[in-house]
């Protein structure tokens, strides 16, 4: 036990800096993905066919390609083709932004479509316009539906950062591997990493439950 | 004349649901539309406030050409609509449901809207429910609130789309009573309904529809007691003597 804790203290600075990078990449990606997701969802919900087609193509493409392959293709493949060396952090954020934006767009679209169409008709029959109906009736209910899956996506994206070790991003998983290459103690070091991921994600989950409870109004 | 529909045609895709429908409603009149499911009754009603777009014929409501409206929202304010599934806003309390439209549209101050809302709630016997959410109400209560929400806008016409079809039997009466009160006050009403008792008691005129056409119309006592068309006789026989 003493050995376990002692080693942890030794690895802590490097692991903590890895965790910092992990959280930074996840937060930056989710920030961009959020806005991209909104734009995509608007395209998916629009009655205009070509926009819907672009939307569906994007969703299927992202869903159909593993994150690791996308990262490798972008960082090494595109890098080779264009004869340039991507910044790993940039490539990482781009990868996860593209990935999360597709899933968030589906969450946004699904949440809006889940709102009872009858209420929309009732609002329109009272003379409320499209935007007012969206603002006062649809969005408040859609957001309530969306919150749990959005936070789920946050957690997924946070975990997906570990895949980015393959493009040498110095996040938590990569730093663990670097330490293990030096001290040959995979049991200890990977358990530290696991615990650190777990603590952050647990905190996020508890936050999600708190938000969900606060948004409850009628049931 | 409040409503004047002539040769109305409406199709969904290749299915023609209204074939050459014509009828009129005068101010203060209560017209009930009856008929089997799928006969186009609800679609006809929804064409009157442009929730559905017709493909042929003309629809005049308060001398407005409904099929070529420029300002659909301003037009819809003047027509109240009550739906089968109530369609109360789930994210709003009862009072918010009632005052949302007039306040958002700038027709009334919030205080005036709430005062009027309270009066209407008292009329339907639900004043104590002003601050609860719709999910805590029974079907009959929801529908009475939905009627209040429509009345709050001071509509000149009220449309009812099977207002009691989704209710438990013991709650039908409380909703019909409110509608009867409204009829007695002289409201112009078009009611799609399966409540033959209501049609007989309250309607000035009953329209029987089947397969997208008006088969027969007349005063309730005539239509119910001496239906002229075989299709009407068959329908009434089924509805009035189910066993």
The answer to whether residue B240 scores a pLDDT higher than 90 is no
> C-alpha dihedral over B71, B73, B74, B77, to 10 degrees?
150
Q: Is the pLDDT of residue A139 over 90?
A: yes
Q: Does A122 touch chain B (CB under 8 A)?
A: yes
Tokens of A172: 């938590």
| pLDDT of B204 | 95
> At residue B37, does pLDDT exceed 60?
yes
What pLDDT score does A217 carry? 62
pLDDT at A218 over 60: no
Give mean pLDDT, residues A132-143. Answer: 93
Read off the pLDDT of residues A124-134 as tens digits, 9 standing for 90 and up: 999 999 999 99
- Closest to A16 measured CA to CA, from A203, A192, A204: A192
The overall average pLDDT reported for chain A is 93
Instruction: Give ipTM to 2 decimals.
Output: 0.92
Global pTM value: 0.86
Euclidean distance between CA atoms B54 and B68, whole angstroms: 10
pLDDT 10s digits, B89-135? 999 999 999 999 999 999 999 999 999 999 999 999 999 999 999 99
Cβ contacts (< 8 Å) between B75 and chain A: which residues? 127
Smallest CA–CA distance from B76 into chain A, residue: A127
Task: Chain A: give the shortest CA distance to residue B89, in Å.
Answer: 6
pLDDT at B242: 84
Query: Which residues of B, range 80-109, sit inside 8 Å of A by Cβ?
Result: 80-81, 83, 85-92, 100-101, 104-105
User: What is the per-residue pLDDT across A62-119, written as a single tens digit (0 to 9) for each?
Assistant: 999 999 999 999 999 999 999 989 999 999 999 999 999 999 999 999 999 999 999 9
- How far, in Å, CA of A190 to CA of A202, rounded? 18
Q: Do B76 and A123 touch (CB under 8 A)?
A: no
Interface of B with A in 132-171 (CB under 8 A): 133-136, 146, 149-150, 153
Q: What distance in Å separates residue A128's CA from the closest CA in chain B?
A: 6
pLDDT value at residue B4: 95
CB–CB of B121/B153 below 8 Å?
no
Query: What are the DSSP calls for A115-154, one per residue?
Result: S-HHHHHHHHHTT--HHHHIIIIIHHHHHHHHHHHHHHHH
Asked if the model's pLDDT at residue A210 lies above 90, the reply is: no
How far is Cα B94 from Cα B106, in angstroms, rounded to an integer? Answer: 19
pLDDT bucket at B236, cuts 50 / 70 / 90: very high
């Amino acid at each position: 036990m003493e050995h376990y804790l002692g080693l942890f203290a030794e690895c802590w600075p490097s692991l903590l800096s890895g965790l910092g990078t992990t959280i930074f990449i996840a937060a930056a990606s989710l920030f961009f993905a959020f806005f991209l997701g909104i734009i995509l969802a608007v395209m998916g919900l629009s009655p205009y066919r070509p926009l819907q087609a672009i939307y569906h193509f994007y969703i299927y493409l992202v869903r159909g390609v593993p994150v690791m392959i996308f990262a490798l293709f972008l960082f090494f493949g595109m890098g080779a083709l264009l004869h340039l060396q991507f910044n790993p952090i940039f490539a990482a954020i781009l990868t996860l932004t593209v990935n999360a934006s597709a899933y968030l767009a589906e969450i946004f679209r699904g949440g809006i479509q889940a709102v009872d169409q009858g209420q929309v008709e009732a609002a329109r029959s009272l003379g409320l316009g499209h935007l007012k109906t969206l603002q006062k009736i649809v969005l408040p209910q859609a957001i309530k539906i969306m919150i749990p899956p959005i936070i789920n996506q946050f957690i997924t994206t946070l975990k997906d950062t570990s895949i980015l070790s393959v493009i040498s991003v110095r996040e938590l998983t990569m730093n663990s591997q670097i330490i293990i290459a030096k001290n040959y103690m995979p049991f200890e070091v990977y358990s530290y990493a696991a615990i650190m991921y777990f603590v952050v994600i647990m905190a996020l989950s508890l936050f999600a439950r708190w938000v969900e409870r606060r948004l409850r109004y009628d049931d | 004349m409040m409503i004047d529909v002539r040769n109305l045609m409406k199709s969904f895709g290749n299915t023609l649901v209204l074939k050459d429908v014509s009828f009129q409603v005068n101010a203060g009149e209560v017209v009930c539309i009856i008929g089997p499911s799928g006969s186009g009754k609800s679609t006809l009603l929804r064409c009157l406030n442009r929730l559905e777009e017709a493909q042929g014929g003309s629809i005049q409501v308060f001398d407005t050409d409904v099929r070529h409206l420029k300002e659909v929202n301003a037009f819809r304010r003047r027509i109240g609509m009550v739906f089968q599934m109530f369609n109360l806003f789930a994210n709003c309390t009862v009072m918010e449901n009632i005052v949302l439209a007039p306040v958002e549209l700038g027709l009334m101050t919030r205080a005036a809207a709430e005062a009027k809302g309270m009066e209407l709630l008292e009329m339907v016997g639900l004043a104590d429910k002003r601050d609860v959410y719709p999910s805590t109400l029974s079907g009959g209560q929801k529908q009475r609130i939905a009627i209040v929400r429509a009345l709050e806008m001071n509509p000149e016409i009220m449309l009812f789309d099977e207002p009691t079809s989704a209710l438990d039997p013991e709650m039908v009466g409380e909703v019909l009573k409110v509608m009867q009160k409204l009829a007695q006050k002289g409201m112009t009403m078009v009611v799609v309904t399966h409540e033959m008792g209501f049609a007989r008691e309250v309607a000035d005129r009953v329209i029987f529809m089947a397969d997208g056409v008006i088969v027969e119309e007349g005063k309730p006592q005539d239509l119910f007691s001496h239906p002229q068309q075989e299709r009407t006789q068959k329908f009434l026989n089924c509805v009035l003597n189910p066993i």
